[in-house]
Chains A and B, each alone.
Chain A
Amino acid sequence: MSGRRAWWKTVLGVFLTAVMLFPVYWMFNVSLTPTSDLRADPPHWFPRAPTLEGYSAVFEQQLPNLATSMVVGLGCVAVTLAVSAPAGYALAKLRPPGTGTIGFLLLVAQMVPSVVMVMGFYAVYVRLGWLNTVWGLILADSTIAVPFGVMLFTAFMSGIPKEILQAAKVDGAGTWRTFRSIILPVSRNAVLTVSLFAFLWAWSDFVFASTLSRNSEMIPITLGIYNYIGNNTTQWNAIMATAVVASVPAAVLLVLAQRYVAGGVTAGAVK
């Protein structure tokens, strides 16, 4: 292909990307718009007099919610790793009877509509008194990531050469020790990918949060934005500023782990 034609494609590609990301640009633009200009007709395409008043509203009102989301996200990572890494090892290398059934159940689990999961969790949590608790939300959110985690770990660990495990066995390492000292370090990329997605999904969750934690003192940022829209529809610069801040983990993930993201989508084909 001639270089000239390739550049022509780059120009078109940049244009298409700009169209696709226009809503993201618009979110930035509105977040920097002074309240007095929000109702300008036509709307300003660029923030003519950029202001941080939207962002100062975020830091006045949303910091506790950001902290809650952080805790929920990290808790979800811990639960997901604790359940899915050993299971992935078992399914990939130890293969106890029932392996096929579990793999099948995981695929089915991903098909259950979230509204159904939410109602089930709600019914269980009402009795247990776990509604509006942070750990309740962590456990519920982890259901988004665990099937993906198990499938990714299984696929990754299946690729670990047998020889390494046999060498460990010859050296007298038990299964647990092999898992901890060999499998986990070798699977660093899988651990990273699963952690990033588990964090992002828990951070982004709206459906569980809006039902299981809606009357909580500690609400995650997604619910903070939702309540904002409900209460305060004139302050769209503050809403969009909160949205920008809530998008930071997604941006970090894209920059830090870009090559794992596409791999993650195709590996589990989840979400």
Chain B
Amino acid sequence: MRRRTASGPRWTAFAFIAPLAAYLVLFYAYPLYRNIDLSLHDYTPRAFVQGDAAFVGTANFADVLSSDAFGTALWNTAVFTLVSIAAQYAIGLALAVFFRDNFPLSPLLRAMFLVPWLLPMIVSASTWSWMLNSDNGIVNSVLGAFGAGQVNWLTSPETALTSVIIANIWLGIPFNLVILYSGLQNIPKDLYEAAELDGAGPWQRFRHITMPLLRPVSVITLLLGLVYTLKVVDVIWIMTLGGPGNTSTTLAIWSYRRAFGTGQPDFSQAAAVGNLLILMALVFGFVHLYLRRREEWS
């Protein structure tokens, strides 16, 4: 009996955690290892199946970095990510402040705002595609009523990236609203009351109470948004395929297209781009973890 209490619980603890440990190794570590392996070899589609690709070291990375498309993809990734998260955050924060005071129907309306986040991406992206359709889209129809000419949202090089950014902002508003709203709930109400007594207007209260006290939540929201937006594939792929040309191609789209988007897959280069993307995601991810940990300790 005594021995059982000494070693028994520890064994059962391992038994409970073992499926997860095995899962992480099989479904995360191994695919990630395969990905690095892909990027260091020259995998043709044939070698991909047979597994006899030649080791080429960092040649794939050199190819990728020196390719003309790399600069474009990097720039598009930066624009797509930064504009998306800035707009999502600003709109999400405005809505969170708006919904903070309970008013009739506010819980219901807040719940309705979650809809874009819950819809399958293919549903949202295809709806936006049709709304932005050059000839029959509602967006052009409304703009036309104000005298604007036809805009080829998804098919012209000038507007393709803007179009996917608009759709992506719409997709990200619910996430920002929910996180920032719950952050606002933790700011003591009496601070606002005291400030109001001292004659602070709504804007002053927002600037001097809401913004500073919401800062930790804001930083976490923005960093998470950054990590999640960097890896977006589906909304861009469904709406523009990264085109026309490379005008809406981000690094994630570039990688996806190299591997799956053409008849001539180049898994090695796709994996090299993917690994660069992991590095970028991890850098911001670790900043997020660091700040979160500091937050928990303070």
Verify B123–A247 contact, CB threshold 8 A. yes
Question: Does any Cβ of B come within 8 Å of A21's Cβ?
Answer: yes
Quick one: given A13-B106, A39-B136, A226-B122, are A115 and B115 in contact (CB under 8 Å)?
no
Contact of B234 among A82, A106, A122, A206 (CB under 8 A): A206
Q: Compute how far the CA of A115 lies from the CA of B228 in the bound complex, rounded to whole angstroms.
A: 12
Quick one: given A210-B260, A254-B111, are A226 and B238 in contact (CB under 8 Å)?
yes
Question: Does any Cβ of A come within 8 Å of B147's Cβ?
Answer: no
Shortest CB distance B241–A (Å): 10
Question: Does any Cβ of A come within 8 Å of B61's Cβ?
Answer: no
Complex interface: chain A residues within 8 A of B115 (CB): 20-21, 24, 250, 254
Complex interface: chain B residues within 8 A of A175 (CB): 9, 12-13, 16
Majority secondary structure, A binding face:
helix
Quick one: given A41-B141, A119-B38, are A13 and B17 in contact (CB under 8 Å)?
no
Most chain A CB neighbours (cut-off 10 Å) among B130, B136, B145, B230: B130
Verify A225–B123 contact, CB threshold 8 A. yes
Number of A-B residue pairs, CB cutoff 8 Å, is: 283
Question: Does any Cβ of B come within 8 Å of A168's Cβ?
Answer: no
Give the residues from 252 to 297 in chain B that come closer than 8 angstroms, CB to CB, to chain A.
Answer: 252, 255-256, 259-260, 267, 270-271, 274-275, 277-278, 281-282, 285, 289
Question: Does any Cβ of B come within 8 Å of A193's Cβ?
Answer: no
Give the residues from 237 to 259 in chain B that come closer than 8 angstroms, CB to CB, to chain A.
Answer: 237-238, 252, 255-256, 259
Shortest CB distance A147–B (Å): 9
Verify B101–A1 contact, CB threshold 8 A. yes
Count contacts on B: residues with CB < 8 A to the other chain: 95
Q: Compute how far the CA of A143 lies from the CA of B145 in the bound complex, rounded to whole angstroms.
A: 47
Q: Digitize A105-127: 1 where CB-to-B-CB distance is under 8 Å, 0 elsewhere.
A: 11111011111111111111011
Question: Does any Cβ of A come within 8 Å of B201's Cβ?
Answer: no
Question: Does any Cβ of A come within 8 Å of B182's Cβ?
Answer: yes
Question: Does any Cβ of A come within 8 Å of B90's Cβ?
Answer: no
Interface size grouping (class) on chain A: 35 or more
Question: Does any Cβ of B come within 8 Å of A10's Cβ?
Answer: yes
Quick one: given A21-B115, A83-B19, A89-B16, are A109 and B122 in contact (CB under 8 Å)?
no
Complex interface: chain A residues within 8 A of B16 (CB): 86-87, 89-90, 94, 175, 179
New A-B contacts (18) at CB < 8 Å, excluding given A24-B115, A204-B121, A247-B120: A10-B106, A13-B99, A20-B112, A21-B115, A23-B128, A40-B136, A42-B141, A82-B19, A83-B20, A86-B17, A90-B20, A102-B21, A113-B231, A113-B252, A124-B34, A240-B127, A265-B117, A269-B220
